[in-house]
């Protein structure tokens, strides 16, 4: 609260006091009281009112600062009513009582919503895991069919698994600390696993993979990092050019390691680059080629944030896209 705000609020009361003082002075004047005495009385009243208003302002200002400090220190702001200090006046007691009733209702609503969200997330995770069993069975059945049909079926199964994985990781982003473990991992092993997971898609798309220097160790969660790499490989496969090529290379940057995933695909229009990490954004390429959910890069950015991986993308239309993943140094973990 500022002086201007305070006096704007108190202006009515101050005017009433001023009018009352003038009326009292006029009354004393009509009764024959000396002018000097009246002036002294007015000065005294002005002094008392000024001291009272300044004291009242300082108390209110200190009280508001105290309450602001408390709420700024809370992660869950709706618990403010439970953390407020004891009220000091009858007015505060009534206001705090009403605020606590309101916040209690909000807390119960938030608690119910969090419980429902947790149950929904657990349900999604359980259902995705259930989906994996028939997918595995379907892959085994594919071995009994002719090669051409088998390749087509395996490609569709890979796509189904990718959608299921995205749903699973989307659910897990609500409580990431329960699911990942940061440890020292070989970057080359991580990339080999990601390529192996999507080898059917890469082979059928005719993509050639080239790797540079990958003899580094990084600090991350292999499962989550592998998912991120898988999304990048899928994007390169979906938006490939005439002679598709994906190049993976790494280089040290101080105490960090930067992995570069580069393709020679159709690229991303410059005006769409600022939005590629938005949830549900598919872009013109996604609409033209179909099959895009707009969730892949959104999840990559979110998971990379949890893993403290710096993720950046540069792209040129009809020339290709480069994705840079900068893994944190050990001292940052």
pLDDT of the residue at 126: 76
Q: Which of 106, 127, 143 is the last residue of a domain?
A: 106
Q: What is the pTM of this model?
A: 0.62
Which span out of 6-10, 119-123, 185-189, 240-244 was modeled with the highest average pLDDT?
Answer: 185-189
pLDDT of the residue at 262: 93
**Does residue 117 form part of some domain?**
no
**Does residue 208 form part of some domain?**
yes
Domain total of the chain: 2
| 87 shares its domain with 195 | no
Chain centroid offset of residue 167 CA: 18
CATH number (domain holding residue 275) = 3.30.565.10
- Edge-to-edge, what's the strand order for the sheet holding 208-211? 208-211, 245-253, 256-263, 320-327, 310-316
| 192 shares its domain with 296 | yes
* Positive or negative torsion for Cα 275, 276, 279, 283: positive
| 210 shares its domain with 311 | yes
**Does residue 252 form part of some domain?**
yes
| 98 shares its domain with 234 | no
Which span out of 8-17, 64-73, 213-222 was modeled with the highest average pLDDT?
Answer: 213-222
- Do the bridges between strand 256-263 and strand 320-327 make them parallel or antiparallel, or are there none, so unpaired? antiparallel
| 213 shares its domain with 324 | yes
**Does residue 318 form part of some domain?**
yes
Cα 121 to Cα 65, 85, 125, 170, 264, distances in angstroms: 40, 37, 6, 9, 37
Q: Measured between alpha carbons, how far is 318 from 241 in angstroms, rounded to an integer?
A: 8
Q: Which domain holds residue 299?
A: 185-332
Q: Which of 68, 87, 106 is the last residue of a domain?
A: 106
* CB 158, CB 198: distance < 8 Å: yes
Three-state DSSP class for residue 193: helix
199 token code pair:
């080898």
Q: What is the mean pLDDT of residues 142-165?
A: 80
- Residue 202 pLDDT greater than 90, yes or no: no
Within 8 A by CB and 6+ apart from 23, the residues are none
pLDDT of the residue at 257: 92
- Residue 77 pLDDT greater than 80, yes or no: no
Q: State percent of the chain over pLDDT 90.
A: 15
**Does residue 271 form part of some domain?**
yes
Residue 176: burial class (beta carbons within 10 Å; 0-12, 13-18, 19+): middle
| 101 shares its domain with 202 | no
Q: What is the mean pLDDT of residues 290-319?
A: 86
Residue whose entry in the numeric block shows the structure tokens 């085994």: 140
**Does residue 14 form part of some domain?**
yes
Q: State percent of the chain over pLDDT 70.
A: 95
Q: Which of 75, 106, 137 is the last residue of a domain?
A: 106
End-to-end CA distance of the chain: 42
- Residue 311 pLDDT greater than 60, yes or no: yes
pLDDT of the residue at 291: 63
* CB 181, CB 221: distance < 8 Å: yes
Q: Measured between alpha carbons, how far is 272 from 258 in angstroms, rounded to an integer?
A: 24
* Least-confidence region, from 62-76, 120-134, 296-310: 120-134
Tens digits of residue pLDDT in 260-271: 999 998 888 888
| 207 shares its domain with 328 | yes
Confidence of residue 258 (pLDDT cuts 50, 70, 90): very high
Maximum CA pair distance of the chain? 121
- Residue 332 pLDDT greater than 70, yes or no: no
pLDDT of the residue at 76: 74
Q: Measured between alpha carbons, how far is 159 from 227 in angstroms, rounded to an integer?
A: 14
**Does residue 80 form part of some domain?**
yes
Q: What is the mean pLDDT of residues 311-330?
A: 89
Q: Measured between alpha carbons, how far is 277 from 330 in angstroms, rounded to an integer?
A: 27
**Does residue 221 form part of some domain?**
yes
- Residue 333 pLDDT greater than 60, yes or no: no
| 204 shares its domain with 88 | no
Q: What is the mean pLDDT of residues 188-202?
A: 88
pLDDT of the residue at 326: 94
Which span out of 39-48, 67-76, 102-111, 177-186 was modeled with the highest average pLDDT?
Answer: 39-48
Cα 172 to Cα 114, 124, 193, 310, distances in angstroms: 14, 10, 21, 20
Residue whose entry in the numeric block shows the structure tokens 């001292």: 331
Chain centroid offset of residue 285 CA: 26
């Amino acid at each position: 609260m500022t002086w201007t705000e305070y006096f704007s609020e108190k202006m009515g009361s101050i005017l009433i006091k001023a009018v009352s003082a003038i009326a009292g002075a006029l009354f004393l004047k009509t009764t024959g009281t000396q002018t000097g005495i009246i002036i002294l009385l007015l000065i005294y009243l002005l002094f008392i009112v000024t001291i009272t208003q300044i004291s009242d302002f300082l108390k209110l200002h200190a009280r508001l600062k105290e309450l602001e400090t408390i709420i700024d220190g809370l992660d869950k702001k709706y618990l403010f009513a439970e953390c407020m200090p004891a009220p000091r006046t009858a007015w505060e007691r009534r206001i705090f009582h009403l605020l606590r009733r309101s916040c209690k209702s909000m807390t119960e609503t938030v608690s119910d919503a969090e419980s429902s969200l947790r149950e929904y997330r657990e349900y999604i995770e359980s259902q995705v895991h259930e989906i994996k069993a028939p997918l595995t069975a379907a892959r085994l059945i594919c071995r009994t069919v002719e090669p051409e049909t088998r390749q087509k079926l395996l490609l569709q199964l890979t796509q189904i698994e990718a959608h299921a994985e995205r749903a699973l990781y989307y659910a897990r982003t609500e409580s990431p600390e329960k699911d990942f473990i940061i440890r020292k991992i070989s970057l080359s092993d991580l990339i080999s696993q990601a390529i192996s997971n999507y080898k059917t898609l890469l082979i059928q798309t005719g993509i050639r993979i080239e790797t540079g220097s990958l003899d580094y160790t990084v600090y991350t969660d292999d499962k989550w990092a592998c998912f991120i790499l898988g999304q990048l490989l899928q994007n390169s496969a979906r938006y490939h050019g005439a002679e598709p090529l994906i190049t993976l290379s790494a280089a040290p940057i101080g105490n960090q390691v930067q992995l570069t995933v580069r393709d020679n695909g159709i690229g991303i229009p410059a005006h769409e680059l600022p939005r590629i990490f938005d949830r549900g954004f598919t872009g013109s390429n996604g609409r033209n080629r179909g099959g895009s959910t707009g969730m892949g890069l959104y999840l990559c950015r979110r998971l990379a944030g949890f893993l403290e991986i710096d993720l950046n993308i540069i792209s040129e239309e009809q020339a290709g896209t480069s994705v840079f993943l900068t893994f944190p140094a050990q001292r940052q973990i």
